[in-house]
Structure 1
Amino acid sequence: MKLFKPLYEKALVWAKHPLAERYLMGISFVEAFIFPLMPEIMLAPMTLGKPERWARYASLSLLFSTLGSIIGYLMGHYGFELLRPLLDDLGWLPAIDGYVAKLRGLGGWEVFWLLVGGGFLPIPMKIIAWSSGIVGVPIWAFLAAMIVGRGKRVYLLCGAIRLGGEKAEQTVHKWIEWIGWGLLALVVLAVVYFKFLHH
């Protein structure tokens, strides 16, 4: 079943649209808390089409991703509270509260580096935002980590496309299905490891 290539090809069409920058801002914003399509797949063709604007595209994506991550943070914070009765009925609440207490015990800079490190992993921003809201990560540490974590991704990608040109984009297009499923598998493995195997 092909999932990521059709999404990528749709993003290629959006990237050539006169309103491409607005699409990029919208996807970057919504992806940070719910949308499954990463803004990086629009950044590549947009940068290839207008390489001199690579820094502008990366900056727009970063700005709107950061704004969207605040929504994700609030969803995690308030959504978790709404689900507490259900989690209690399932018997999961004591264990979850234990993990939350441990994370809340970390200092601001410990949290910051933990989140920045998470930005280097193939974990969707929305997962990091939700989790940060659930545990009550200090908002300044959360936002700083989001800027650093997402910033290095978008600037490195746009910079690489700027330097690599059309060949780099063609490579991404050719392997996007494998890349997408591979990243999804890594996320599932990470969840299984931390939920069932890590003590």
Structure 2
Amino acid sequence: MFRPLYDWTLRLAHHRHAIRSMAAVSFAESSIFPIPPDVMLVPMILARREQAYWIATVCTIASVAGGMLGYAIGYFLYDSVGLWLINLYGAHDAIGEFRAWYDHYGAWVILIKGLTPIPFKIVTIASGFFAYNFPLFVILATITRGARFFLIAWLLKRYGERMQGFIEKRLNLIGTIFTVLLVGGFLLIALL
């Protein structure tokens, strides 16, 4: 089931615009798009292991820039665009819970949520809506997104061949787990 998508992304990883495409997905995922950049990041690093850290750098910068847009949506446009996006992802009820988390844990919310399958756009929009300290938000988003993408890059650069073999042998299982985590992240937000 996942083989055609996997093969397509591996072919796309060799395209001359692949890194720009991944940057666009990473940017959009932090503010409006539902699919995480990992779906492009992993095949790109597997296809270009020598550029693993460059790919992670581009992905991190684009994700943080997209997070800034998400913050702006929450800060300036929450009643229109922000609320629409929050409702689209079923997270309207979670905003109150996020508020309590922000009041008690502040930076930890951004750091931990940036590493989890919970959609990062919810964190960025909520950070803007709650007028979280913007420079601190940018620093924390850079740390958490960088940690996530550079960990993936390091693992794939170091263990790439073995991991690629592992992934290819268990592609349906890994694809199913990824889908469950993605949907689970949205459900978790909706249930909070």
TM-score (norm 1): 0.75
Q: Deviation at 1:140?
A: 1.6
Letter in 2 for 1:139: F
Within the alignment, does 1:167 sit opposite 2:189 as a pair?
no
- For structure 1, which segment, 130-139 or 181-190, has the greater mean C-alpha deviation from structure 2 after superposition? 181-190
Q: How does 1:101-120 map to 2 (within 5 A)?
A: 102=100, 105-106=103-104, 110-120=105-115
- Name the residue aligned to 2:116: 121
Give, as a single letter, the amino acid of the residue that structure 1 aligns with 2:33: F
Q: What CA deviation, in whole Å up to 9, does each residue of 1:167-198 have, x standing for no partner?
A: 3134445034312321134224423442xxxx
- TM-fit CA distance, 1:103: 5.8
1:66 maps onto 2:64 in alignment:
yes
- CA change 1:48–1:181 in 2 (3 A) is closer
Q: Which runs of 5+ in 1 are unaligned?
A: 87-94, 195-199
For the pair shown, which has the larger CA radius of gyration, 1 or 2?
1
Bigger CA drift: 173-182 or 26-35?
A: 173-182
Question: Take 1:78 and 1:125, find their aligned partners in 2: how far apart are those partners?
Answer: 18
Cα contact 1:80–1:134 (8 A) shared by 2: yes
Q: CA RMSD in A?
A: 3.0
8 A contact 1:5–1:176 mirrored in 2: no
Which amino acid in the other structure matches residue 117 of structure 1? I
Identity of aligned residues (%): 28
In the alignment, does 2:28 pair up with 1:33?
no
Structure 2 Cα separation of the partners of residues 52 and 85 of structure 1: 42
Aligned to 1:19: 17
Q: TM-score, normalised by structure 2?
A: 0.78
Q: Is the 8 A contact 2:101 2:109 kept in 1?
A: no
Paired with 1:66 and 1:189, the residues of 2 have a C-alpha distance of 24
User: Shift in Å at residue 12 of structure 1?
Assistant: 2.5
Alignment of 1:88-107 (within 5 A): 102=100, 105-106=103-104
Contact 1:44 1:169 in 2 (8 A): no
Number of equivalenced pairs: 181
Out of 135, 142, 152, the position equivalent to 1:147 is 142
Q: Shift of the alpha carbon at 1:75? A: 1.4
Q: How far is 1:6 from its partner?
A: 5.8
Tell me, in whole angstroms, the C-alpha distance in 2 between the residues paired with 1:96 and 1:193: 7
Q: Is structure 2 residue 65 aligned with structure 1 residue 51?
A: no
Are 2:117 and 2:181, in contact at CA under 8 Å, matched by a contact in 1?
A: yes
Write out per-residue CA displacement over residues 136-188 of structure 1, whole angstroms, 9 at most, x where no aligned residue: 21112211121111111100111111111233134445034312321134224
Match among 151, 156, 178 for residue 151 of structure 2: 156
